[in-house]
Structure 1
Amino acid sequence: MPAWAKSLLSAVLVSVLCISHAGPGQAQTSDLVSKNAFRVCADPANYPMSDREGTGYENALAELIASKLDLPVQYEWYPMSTGFIRNTLRDNKCDVVIGYAQGHEMVLNTNHYFTSVFAIVTKADGPLADVVTLSDDRLKEARIGIVAGSPPADHMARNGLLKAAKPYNLVVDRRYESPVIDLLDDVQSGETDLAILWGPLAGPLVKESYPDLTVTPLLQETLPPRLFFRITMGVRQGEKVWQRQLNSLIRRHQDEINQVLIDAGVPLVNDMGDALLEVQQ
């Protein structure tokens, strides 16, 4: 069957299902959203983003949005691993995921509230501190820490940098294992020469605990896969009213959102991922 025919058939089936399930007594999807609390799905051990103690910047953003809604924050804790969305948002135990990459089909995305990029982390006074691109010849013999399966690994392979790379696990339960901390500790100790890490993890952790390290956003990588991502809030599919309400809050309070992220140390970039936002200059 041609691709266009499959798409048409899918659209028809969806329409039929919607009609067959509709009726005067059928609750709208947006009715599932709590009117008594700002119910947040979050990882209890994913600092600097979120943690049970409420010290992550996503915790701060949750408090900010909840204050605008005049509601208390209520958390549904679940490790950010397989089954996270199924066991939290889809199970109606919460109503929003504060940080979710734009375009993921498991959730309905709000408008993005920040864009960030992968970054190099190395010794601030080391010989590689001024490296800004993965094609730099000085990296050919460098020991590079990389989270296995993350987008920068493809760029490293293209530039012949994998032979001396040290991989770290991608999907873990952060309550028991912390590859991001291990990665930064290894740069600090000299076990590796540098690390390549998602900026919203690297920036806050280095700012707080690694004064001898420096974070350099990878703004000049133009080949795929892209290294920048737009981050949204995720809600249940079909909850367009709730999505629009959050979009309005994001638009009206973007400056406050930016300030929370900047204070945390998150490297904010423009929507194309090739320049730092002027607010950070």
Structure 2
Amino acid sequence: MAALLAGAAASPALAVEVTEREAVRVCADGNLLPFSNEKMEGFENEIAKLIGEDLKKPVTYTWWPQTIGFVRNTLGARKCDLVMGTASGEELMQNTNPYYRTVYALVYRTKSGIRAESVGDPALKDARIGVVERTPAVNLLRRYGITKTEPYQLNTDTRVNNPARDAIADVATGKTDAAVIWGPIAGYFAAQQSEPLTVVPLIKEPAVAHLQFNISMGIRGDEPEWKHWLNDFIKRRQDDIDRILLRYHVPIIGPDGTLKTADASAPPGYRMDNYRAPTPAGLTGASTVTVAELRGLIERHPDTRLVDVMPTPPRPADRAPPAVWAPPPRRSLPGAVWLPNVGYGSLSTDQERYFRAGLDAVSKGESPPRLVFFCEPDCWMSWNAAKRAVEWGYSNVYWYADGATRWQEAGYALETVQPFAGGGASN
């Protein structure tokens, strides 16, 4: 992270305060998921977008590999004005207030028989454990006398290497038995493996292990108004920030020391109104995927079924029956089946029959099918539809909350789809 990288002081005479900014100029790594990339698929990209929307300013990027010299060549050189993630207390930059607290995590294969919640668990005594060199995880393993490790390089060219991602992949393939990796990276890449992995945020380790860190934004020291504005933004938009982080499987530690849950804001039943509003970060019984995770899922499993539940627009007032009116076609993800109007909180008999017929049609040929439900960002229709599929007994359900718009914004093509024709009326 930028918190560990060399930087340089800037001249106070060149300070630009928040009211004078023409754009939100972000310093970021162009190939460092889950944090950021040039396709805007990282959680720091999404949070930066919130800042731009709040300021009504465009967001621009200076890309630089996040290794030695990152701060000096970006923020310090005044090519950009904001580093989205740095450990609080970092002296190379002025820190905002923290906007999340996270922790290192233990990762192992779910089917391995390991049930450890601490690295000190006897089940890990003879395990080969992956660890990134010169991180707090190394000290933790030493504390427990674990020497059978698989080391991964810390400082590397992120344009071609991602050692922490490789450590997670090696657990999945069985090269190693477990890994202790920075929580945001562990959660994100564990969710993308074909082999089910268990991720245990290490909140039960002794405090002296120092595995938990507050994460802030980094700015230059001569811009107090910019800092005050960002602190106010974090306070006002904390719930939105948390939803983004949890969608990316970042383990977030709350003020009480417990982990925040992805579905904490979900209703006990279905969402019944105001369907275009901020959604929870997750859904019990379903796997939540981001743009990049969905791409990976499709690449690993080409027979993944995409189910678009975006409703059809209402019939115009001047086209009341018996006037002929056909809803416009939908631009959706390639290969998606469009089942409009099945994401309402309460379905009519015809709508439920139509939904079941659509799921039956897309599920043929594989058991259990991988069903990915989506519509648009902040769309409860897809959350309701995925929840209903879970309750109907589908066991391999995914919820893609970003929707078709974010897919297109990441540079991927959409195609025109027509409503599914089987099963009766969809209205």
Using structure 1 for the length normalisation, give the TM-score.
Answer: 0.85
* Contact persistence 1:32–1:92 (CA under 8 A): no
How many percent identity over aligned positions? Answer: 38
* Contact persistence 1:30–1:240 (CA under 8 A): no
SS in structure 2 of the partner of residue 40 of structure 1 = strand
Question: How far, CA to CA, are the matches of 1:65 and 1:31 in structure 2?
Answer: 15
SS in structure 2 of the partner of residue 201 of structure 1 = helix
Residue 97 of structure 2: which of 111, 134, 137 is its match? 111
Query: Once the 2 structures are TM-superposed, how far is the Cα of residue 32 of structure 1 from its aligned partner?
Result: 8.9
Question: How far, CA to CA, are the matches of 1:174 and 1:200 in structure 2?
Answer: 16
Say if 2:43 is the partner of 1:53.
no
Q: Return the letter of the residue paired with 1:123.
A: R
Question: How far, CA to CA, are the matches of 1:66 and 1:154 in structure 2?
Answer: 39
- Alignment deviations for residues 34-58 of structure 1 (CA, whole Å, 9 cap, x no partner): 6111000000110111011111111
- Over the aligned positions, Cα root-mean-square deviation in angstroms equals 1.9
Question: How far, CA to CA, are the matches of 2:216 and 2:166 in structure 1?
Answer: 28
Q: Superposition pairs for residues 105-144 of structure 1, below 5 Å?
A: 105-128=91-114, 130-144=115-129
What 5-or-longer segments of structure 1 have no aligned partner?
A: 1-20
Query: Once the 2 structures are TM-superposed, how far is the Cα of residue 277 of structure 1 from its aligned partner?
Result: 2.2
Q: Return the letter of the residue paired with 2:220.
A: R
Distance verdict in 2 for CA 1:169–1:248, change over 3 Å: same
Distance verdict in 2 for CA 1:271–1:142, change over 3 Å: same
- Alignment deviations for residues 91-143 of structure 1 (CA, whole Å, 9 cap, x no partner): 11001001111000001000001111000111112221x21112112211000
Q: Return the letter of the residue paired with 1:265.
A: H
Q: Return the letter of the residue paired with 1:277.
A: K
Say if 2:83 is the partner of 1:97.
yes
Aligned position for 2:183: 199
Aligned position for 1:226: 210
Q: Superposition pairs for residues 1-281 of structure 1, below 5 Å?
A: 27=13, 29-31=15-17, 35-128=21-114, 130-162=115-147, 164-210=148-194, 212-271=196-255, 274-277=257-260
Q: Return the letter of the residue paired with 1:151.
A: P
Q: Return the letter of the residue paired with 1:147.
A: V
SS in structure 2 of the partner of residue 238 of structure 1 = coil
Question: How far, CA to CA, are the matches of 2:190 and 2:48 in structure 1?
Answer: 23
SS in structure 1 of the partner of residue 91 of structure 2 = coil
SS in structure 1 of the partner of residue 130 of structure 2 = strand
Question: How far, CA to CA, are the matches of 2:33 and 2:262 in structure 1?
Answer: 24
Question: How far, CA to CA, are the matches of 2:19 and 2:116 in structure 1?
Answer: 47
Q: Return the letter of the residue paired with 1:202.
A: A
SS in structure 2 of the partner of residue 99 of structure 1 = strand
* Contact persistence 1:44–1:77 (CA under 8 A): yes
SS in structure 2 of the partner of residue 224 of structure 1 = helix
SS in structure 1 of the partner of residue 192 of structure 2 = helix
* Contact persistence 2:106–2:119 (CA under 8 A): no
What 5-or-longer segments of structure 2 have no aligned partner?
A: 1-10, 265-427
Question: How far, CA to CA, are the matches of 2:85 and 2:221 in structure 1?
Answer: 16
Question: How far, CA to CA, are the matches of 1:81 and 1:137 in structure 2?
Answer: 36
SS in structure 1 of the partner of residue 45 of structure 2 = helix
Q: Return the letter of the residue paired with 2:260.
A: L
Q: Which of structures 1 and 2 has the bigger CA Rg?
A: 2
Indicate the structure whose relative CO is greater, using CA pairs within 8 Å and at least 6 residues apart: 1
Aligned position for 2:422: none
Query: Once the 2 structures are TM-superposed, how far is the Cα of residue 270 of structure 1 from its aligned partner?
Result: 2.2
Distance verdict in 2 for CA 1:200–1:99, change over 3 Å: same
- Count of residue pairs the alignment pairs up: 254
Q: Return the letter of the residue paired with 1:77.
A: W
* Contact persistence 1:39–1:96 (CA under 8 A): yes
Query: Once the 2 structures are TM-superposed, how far is the Cα of residue 238 of structure 1 from its aligned partner?
Result: 2.4
Aligned position for 1:14: none
* Contact persistence 1:43–1:78 (CA under 8 A): yes
Query: Once the 2 structures are TM-superposed, how far is the Cα of residue 264 of structure 1 from its aligned partner?
Result: 1.3
Q: Return the letter of the residue paired with 2:78.
A: N
Distance verdict in 2 for CA 1:182–1:28, change over 3 Å: closer
* Contact persistence 1:33–1:95 (CA under 8 A): no
Query: Once the 2 structures are TM-superposed, how far is the Cα of residue 207 of structure 1 from its aligned partner?
Result: 2.1
Q: Return the letter of the residue paired with 2:119.
A: L
Question: How far, CA to CA, are the matches of 1:49 and 1:60 in structure 2?
Answer: 9
